[in-house]
Amino acid sequence: MTKPSHPQNVKPGYKQTEVGVIPDDWEIRPCSDVCDRIMVGVVIRPTQYYEKNGVTALRSANIRENGITNSDLVYISEKSNALLAKSQTESGDVLTVRTGYPGTSAVVPPSLAGCNCIDILITRPSEKLSSEYLAVWINSSFGKEQVLRNQGGLAQKHFNVGDMRNLVVALPRLPEQRAIAGALSDVDALLGGLDQLIAKKRDLKQAAMQQLLTGQTRLPGFHGEWDVKKLGELARIQRGASPRPIDSPIWFDENSSIGWVRISDVTRSGMFLRETTQQLSPLGVQHSRPVGKGSLIMSICATVGRPIITEIDVCIHDGFVVFDNLQANKLFIYYVLKWIEPGWSMHGQTGSQMNLNTGLINGTKISLPKSGEQTAIAEMLTDMDAELAALEQRRAKTRALKQGMMQELLTGRTRLV
């Protein structure tokens, strides 16, 4: 371990260490010095021990940075739990994911004391180290950098007992450890509440789509029968075109104002397409299908049935269709397409990739109210989307706040004690 130094650019009361600048009264210690136990939970075959009920057996899927989730739990029998006694947890143990998302850590609460662990690192801090602080440190950029650097294995990377033993921690005194962990736990609680609220709002929107887009529930003031129409009766559905060979540089121009829509552009966007990663040259535009801003398009290859409305001028390749001359409320049809999106995969043609043909799309029937009811339904669902977007933005800002707090608190730039 390197010896702390006090270079001229470090302010008084702080020192330079291998994890960065920290207060003079903090220590740098490896986990092996401040933990009483570090081991790997037993690795078992599911068919060998799993049962419908019994003792909870925690897996990597249950470990989250904001705690241990009770979703997707598995169980083993009392007898198996006794045989696998070395993997049983105690309240305050820190559980760390070894593979997949290695380093993700959470503390065992009293309610899960005595449960078992499957292929998870179990770390039991000594009296010098707060369990909650250790989990925060491992989940921080300071811990994750060490986890990524020390992963072993070839095709499947692992974070092992030796790596955890060597992982170094910046340690304030115990009261400050607890204060830091408590402050960050409050932010985690806020994030958890936002996650639950967002999940609830998504469920409500899904239920609203089912009721409103099928006419099972009518908005006040609207009556009368709905028509049944084929999509091909409501729009001229045209497939895109791709210049060949697709990877030739002559088709592209980063200074062009005409975007080239790829499926990745659509999957990372919401209702509206506002940017693309590639732009087409004038020659590329000639060999593709131009689509003006304000058009409804839908993917028909790989990720099939994903609709989006363009807010820029683009071209679409043959993995998309455009709904030209649409004779219905555009937002209403967008939501109808979102509602039926999961069902496209049952009808698509399979090959190297799932794809839809225009004949199938043209012949797809939907229920269609009069234009005023279309507009009202679309406005209601748009309002629900706006509420969801605001909550997701708040969650993103809260996560950014937490990252900033971690940088301040785990380096001692901001002191709580």
Backbone angles phi, psi at 377, to 5 degrees: -65, -45
* Mean model confidence pLDDT for the chain: 91
pLDDT at 152 over 60: no
Question: What pLDDT is stored for residue 51 in this prediction?
Answer: 83
pLDDT for residue 160 is more than 80: yes
Q: Please tell me the predicted confidence (pLDDT) of residue 346.
A: 74
Q: 349 and 245 in one domain?
A: yes
Determine, yes or no, domain membership for 5. Answer: no
> Would you state the pLDDT for residue 85?
84
Instruction: Say if residue 42 is in the same domain as residue 148.
Output: yes
Cα gap 228→240, rounded to integer Å: 27
pLDDT of residue 41: 86
Give the model's pLDDT for residue 264.
93
Give domain status of residue 324, yes or no: yes
Residues 290 and 399 in one domain: no
Shared-domain flag, residues 278 and 404? no
Residues 302 and 212 in one domain: no
54 and 156 in a common domain: yes
Domain holding 267: CATH number?
A: 3.90.220.20
On the question of pLDDT at 394 being above 60, the answer is yes
Provide the pLDDT for residue 3. Answer: 55
Whether the pLDDT of residue 70 is over 60: the answer is yes
Asked if the structure places residue 13 within a domain, the reply is no
Alpha-carbon distance values, 83 to 8, 79, 80, 223, 404 (Å): 58, 6, 5, 66, 44
Stated length of the chain: 417
Flag whether 10 is in a domain.
Answer: no
Asked whether residue 397 falls in the same domain as residue 311, the answer is no
pLDDT of residue 348: 55
Q: Is the pLDDT of residue 351 over 80?
A: no
Distance CA 407, CA 405 (A): 5
The whole-number pLDDT of residue 337 equals: 97
192-221 pLDDT tens trace? 999 999 999 999 999 999 999 999 999 999
Full domain range(s) for residue 251: 227-368
CB 356 within 8 A of CB 300: yes
Query: How many degrees, rounded to 5, is the angle at CA 22 between CA 137 and CA 142?
Result: 30
Percent of the chain with pLDDT over 70: 93
Quick one: 330 and 256 in the same domain?
A: yes
Check residue 340 and give its pLDDT.
94
* 257/80: higher pLDDT: 257
| Domain count along the chain | 3
Decide if 6 is inside a domain.
no
**What pLDDT was estimated at residue 43?**
74
Model confidence pLDDT, tens digit, residues 306-318? 999 999 999 999 9
Percent over 90 (pLDDT), the chain: 75
Q: Which residues pair with 5 in a beta bridge?
A: 16
Per-residue pLDDT tens digits for 223-255: 999 999 999 999 999 999 999 888 899 999 999
